[in-house]
Amino acid sequence: MNMNNQKKSKLIEGKTKIVWSVKNDDENVIIENKDDITAYDDPSLTKQFKAKAEYSTTITCCVFELLKKAGIPVAYNHQLSSTEFSVPNCTMIPLEVVARRFAVGSFLKRHPELINEDNPHRFHKLVVEYFLKTTGGKLLNSAGKNLLEGSDLKKGEDDPFIANCSENEWELFHSKKPGWEETSNLGRKIKANKILSNNSKGVIENMDEMLRKVFLTLEGAWNMLGYRIIDLKIEFGIDQKGNLLVADVIDNDSWRLKDPEWKELSKEAFRQGEEINEIEKNYGFVASLARSLRISRQALVIWRGSDGDDFPDLGIFENTEGVAIEKITMSGHKSTQMCLNKLEEILGKYPDGGVIVAKVGRSNGLGPILAARTSWPVIAIPATMDSCPDDIWSSVRMPSKVPLATVWPEANAILLASEILAQKNPVLYQKRQFMIEKQDE
């Protein structure tokens, strides 16, 4: 371990990790994972397997590296060892924030009307929920005062569900009972500013957006590998500069993850009673998959016919990791061989592939020439429909085996290119899917 990351003293020890202060560094701390796996916050159900800490650290570090590349503010510096990583020193917000793509688990206990024995109900727009994070039913502030009175652990009233988290005063509900049951309302409320700053609504809105982007980035990454992330639980912290960050850990305890046949690969299998040796295999497998979470290096080629054709606004591609923008000006009619030579150069430069957008002001020879010579998708933006409506036919009437897409207006062509590239780029997937789901508001 680097001398600048020497552990000083134990700050917190939880069920699955330890937080250490760092010698001569008050701005950062060290998180050390433990080999413990827990279920339902019941100590009698806690077990260990040898590589749990290593697997959890690997997954967390791979996930945070991916989220950093996606531009999401995370409390993560770098990995220190097989079981430790360095993070900014944060004040944790005592909330567990959950995003759900499918209706499973405790959600179905609160919404039994969505139970489907064949296939879980899928939400077109992510459902986001907030739970007050308690310890033994208590919520202690920095002075050791309990802010939450009356929790009955025997009735499962720890970590209550917050039904109105955007309001100034939160109503607390049982996390596993339908809202229409009389006993679901715990009859207790808590002021939001006791948990958050006075600008609590702004903090909640920021957490909501950040959680959605975290989930969508991971959903895109797991989709690339053929796996489904069902739901995700994360926590937030405030660093010493006042920044809201995704904090703590994101590992195989944090989500439900299923393979193409819907086999459970995450901690949920342990809750369901699967043997510990199988759990260990699953965690090792997910850790190996996490090392494969990546952002491919692809190209968006914007190819215009002449200087008289404007390059389109790239919009969604701005500040997107993994997509190189290649801008080319070359006529398909006047410089056919030069175009083919340039095409070969581009194809050799990006083994992860790409998309070509061809924009020409008059009769489109460029798009068909490129589409006939590459397996990359080629999208033609026809001349302005108002001024040259007849020119669209040079982009539409294609000979056989020339699969040219023609899209207008040009903003849609750029979005289509982003959706194609998003199949290998979780950041683009996140941006486009966030845009789509936001339309439902």
pLDDT at 2 over 90: no
User: pLDDT-based confidence at 176, cuts 50/70/90?
Assistant: very high
Q: Which residues contact 318 (CB under 8 A, 6 or more apart)?
A: none
Per-residue exposure over 165-186, b if at least 16 CB sit within 10 Å of its own CB, e if not: beeeebbbbbbbbeeeeeebeb
Domains of the chain and any CATH numbers: 3-93+199-290 (3.30.200.20), 96-195 (no CATH), 298-424 (3.40.50.1970)
- Three-point CA angle 380, 381, 382, nearest 5°: 105
Q: Of 226, 232, 215, which Cα lies nearest the Cα of 266? A: 232
pLDDT at 32 over 90: yes
**How far apart are alpha carbons 428 and 421 in whole angstroms?**
7
Neighbours of 421 (CB within 10 A): 27
Name the residue with tokens 């005063």. 169
pLDDT at 193 over 80: yes
Query: Which pLDDT score is estimated for 198?
Result: 65
The tens digit of pLDDT for each residue in 121-168 reads 999 999 999 999 988 778 876 667 787 876 776 787 788 999 999 889
The helix or strand, by DSSP H or E, that contains position 130, with its residue range, turns out to be: strand 122-132
**Region for 144 from its dihedrals, namely left if φ exceeds 0, alpha if ψ lies in -120 to 50, beta otherwise:** left
The tens digit of pLDDT for each residue in 91-120 reads 999 999 999 999 999 999 999 999 988 889
**How far apart are alpha carbons 408 and 398 in whole angstroms?**
17
**How far apart are alpha carbons 64 and 75 in whole angstroms?**
8
CA atoms within 13 A on the CB side of 133: 13
User: pLDDT-based confidence at 1, cuts 50/70/90?
Assistant: very low
Determine the number of helices (DSSP H) and then strands (DSSP E) in the chain.
11, 21
pLDDT at 40 over 90: no
Query: Which pLDDT score is estimated for 315?
Result: 92
pTM above 0.75, yes or no: yes
Q: Do 332 and 369 touch, CB atoms closer than 8 A?
A: yes
Calculate the alpha carbon distances from 152 to 138, 160, 225, 404 in Å. Answer: 10, 11, 43, 64
Q: Do 215 and 434 touch, CB atoms closer than 8 A?
A: no
Length of the chain measured in residues: 441
The tens digit of pLDDT for each residue in 355-399 reads 999 998 888 899 999 999 999 999 999 876 666 677 788 889 999
- Locate the DSSP E strands across 265-353: 298-304, 323-329
pLDDT at 235 over 60: yes
**What tokens were used for 438?**
């936001």
What is residue 138's DSSP assignment? Answer: B
Strand-pairing partners, residue 233, are 98
Q: Which residues contact 10 (CB under 8 A, 6 or more apart)?
A: 18, 19, 20, 21
pLDDT at 427 over 50: yes
What is residue 391's DSSP assignment? Answer: G
Q: Do 373 and 404 touch, CB atoms closer than 8 A?
A: no
Query: Which pLDDT score is estimated for 43?
Result: 66
